[in-house]
Structure 1
């Protein structure tokens, strides 16, 4: 009897290991190799050497870029340097990046570790920048006001909350109002391992305002990028390890109702929305294993998808760019402005293209 029980337990253990390994391989897309899709008019952006994890382009062509993210377990080319926010004017013939000075606060810039970013422009055309920050691998959201003439950011406020314990990305719906994906990645190494390797779908999305903070969507296998439609009616959420983008309807009380999901053969990261067409531009990781287990001889590839007519029954998905890592490693985000495209990465460089 004891031998039978032992054999049963061993069998169950082997079955679990086999199923888990299969799940891990599927979720991280470990066997996918990239077929290159080249764009002829692209070059790497001078001055970005340690990541451009998120970026946002204003309607006037000014682009904010978060750089220097230190992500637990992920490669960093500048592990001892603080992160920074860069600015790029896409109206220039040969645009270059400049680092924005941060003023007016007690923010410890030596610990600045920027992740997802989002902007909000008020009725007076004042531009606010919200930045997910991970000082000492904790999570805060930093609120800045953009000073265009001075090329600087005036720090206004540090936002913390128990429901914002490990924020990945953010989309502003007001100067101090936003939706954020909370992925548990920065909370604890053991928790991180459970989420990554056991596939615990416990990421969630939070609505934050000074008056109310609440979970508005849950059950994601590492919720990542988030953005909103130009008319403000729909919220888009990237489910990183499930290879999905979800469409939610936004209501007047800030709650969200699921409408549809799209599935891809890639790990979807940040989502940018073209304010003119409403198209989604998504930075993706074709092979997640190469991202999390860095090998300079076999670096993580990059991929950019464009999704048109996402609310229709048959959205059009186009692979705009794909590369095996020899040029650009670990793409996270892509955004467009008047026929120009920027592509950012977790820890590597950034790409400027004329489409």
Structure 2
């Protein structure tokens, strides 16, 4: 009888420890006091689920990845596709990019790469009926033309990607498991079983493993390092890029928030939209909470002693679940997972 009681006690203590660890390691106990240091809201644009953006700085336009996940969650038809935003005139306006009639696009992460004068390659992660693909487009003089679709078994659960050359990109699989038990272990136990893949123009291969919900990716200005956001790990992992595209782990940068997409500005500063409380975000994504907190970080990378600054923090009532932050001139564009609008801040 005593042994049974001891076993039950150990089980209860273990369960309490598990619950406490899960909540504490996902930011649930963090006090969210709104802080809007970057500037004022310049414009609110009513376009839902702008989860990612890609900037053509030289030619002054943004491509927006749009998916009204809130409506889809409710079983309704919502906007989904790519949108264009011209940065040369204000107030900013968005317009839908026409797509081929035979291409169904529910976009996630996107990336632009300049391949010639007024010419870019655009890569888009697409999720249709549980199947994953990469859609490639060419942009010439503001015209977006569909090129081709890439599929591979190594696109396990693609979240974000970044082009590093024409037809060459890194991408994140935010989960390494597909079973319910495996996904649960990664989400709640923080099991680092996900990875980063690389497409070299011909083949896919995995080049980095043992990551906890890898998300945004961005190379530094030299093209010698790749930064990968680990949302569940509350960190950014830095890798050295080898000549053949392989990655060698360099260091982990602790950021104390659930970093999402990564962007880099002209000065080499990294910007990220983040989820400071992943448990509340999870409930919000499931429709059980009305709001989810948002955070914007800027990171000045210096090996071993990077400077991390939180420039915008909100309880979700201004904007829920920020996923991307892109600076352009005096403006900062804030996208999100499934809010009904996105914001433009101005210094």
Query: Is TM-score (shorter-chain normalized) higher than 0.5?
Result: yes
Residue 152 (structure 2) aligned to one of 152, 161, 166 = 161
Shift of 1:199: 2.1
SS in structure 2 of the partner of residue 53 of structure 1: strand
CA contact (8 A) 1:301 1:329 kept: yes
> How large is the Cα RMSD of the aligned pairs?
2.4
Query: For residues 13-52 of structure 1, what are the structure 2 equivalents within 5 Å?
Result: 13-38=11-36, 39-48=38-47, 50-52=48-50
For residues 262-314 of structure 1, the C-alpha deviation after alignment (integer angstroms, 9 at most, x for no partner) is 1122111110111x101000101111122111268751011100111x13443
CA contact (8 A) 2:190 2:233 kept: no
Distance of aligned partners of 1:61 and 1:120 in 2 relative to their CA distance in 1, 3 Å threshold: same
SS in structure 2 of the partner of residue 178 of structure 1: strand
Structure 1 segments unaligned to the other structure (5+ residues): none
Aligned equivalent of 1:88? 85
Distance of aligned partners of 1:242 and 1:106 in 2 relative to their CA distance in 1, 3 Å threshold: same
Shift of 1:242: 1.1
Query: For residues 318-333 of structure 1, what are the structure 2 equivalents within 5 Å?
Result: 318-333=309-324
For residues 4-60 of structure 1, the C-alpha deviation after alignment (integer angstroms, 9 at most, x for no partner) is 553454344224312321221123211223111124431443231x21111111122
Shift of 1:96: 1.1
Question: TM-score, normalized by length of structure 1?
Answer: 0.89
Query: For residues 244-255 of structure 1, what are the structure 2 equivalents within 5 Å?
Result: 244-255=235-246
Aligned equivalent of 1:126? 119
Q: Distance in 2 between matches of 1:124 and 1:297?
A: 46
CA contact (8 A) 2:177 2:194 kept: no
The count of residues paired between Structure 1 and Structure 2 equals 342
SS in structure 2 of the partner of residue 292 of structure 1: helix
Which contiguous aligned blocks of 4+ residues in structure 1 show a shift greater than 3 angstroms? 3-9, 74-79, 147-150, 185-191, 295-298
Distance of aligned partners of 1:199 and 1:121 in 2 relative to their CA distance in 1, 3 Å threshold: same
CA contact (8 A) 2:49 2:69 kept: no
CA contact (8 A) 1:70 1:79 kept: no
For residues 219-270 of structure 1, the C-alpha deviation after alignment (integer angstroms, 9 at most, x for no partner) is 1111111111122111000111110011111110111111121112211111
SS in structure 2 of the partner of residue 101 of structure 1: coil
Query: For residues 214-293 of structure 1, what are the structure 2 equivalents within 5 Å?
Result: 214-274=205-265, 276-293=266-283
Query: For residues 56-75 of structure 1, what are the structure 2 equivalents within 5 Å?
Result: 56-59=54-57, 60-68=59-67, 70=69
Q: Distance in 2 between matches of 1:124 and 1:42?
A: 33
Q: Distance in 2 between matches of 1:76 and 1:280?
A: 32
Aligned equivalent of 1:106? 102
Q: Distance in 1 between matches of 2:208 and 2:95?
A: 37
Aligned equivalent of 2:136? 143
SS in structure 2 of the partner of residue 164 of structure 1: coil
Give the strand-richer structure, 1 or 2: 2
SS in structure 2 of the partner of residue 283 of structure 1: strand
Shift of 1:186: 9.2
SS in structure 1 of the partner of residue 232 of structure 2: helix
CA contact (8 A) 1:138 1:165 kept: no
Structure 2 segments unaligned to the other structure (5+ residues): none
Q: Does 1:172 align with 2:163?
A: yes
Q: Distance in 2 between matches of 1:82 and 1:175?
A: 29
Q: Distance in 1 between matches of 2:82 and 2:9?
A: 53
Q: Distance in 2 between matches of 1:258 and 1:64?
A: 31
Q: Distance in 1 between matches of 2:317 and 2:152?
A: 40
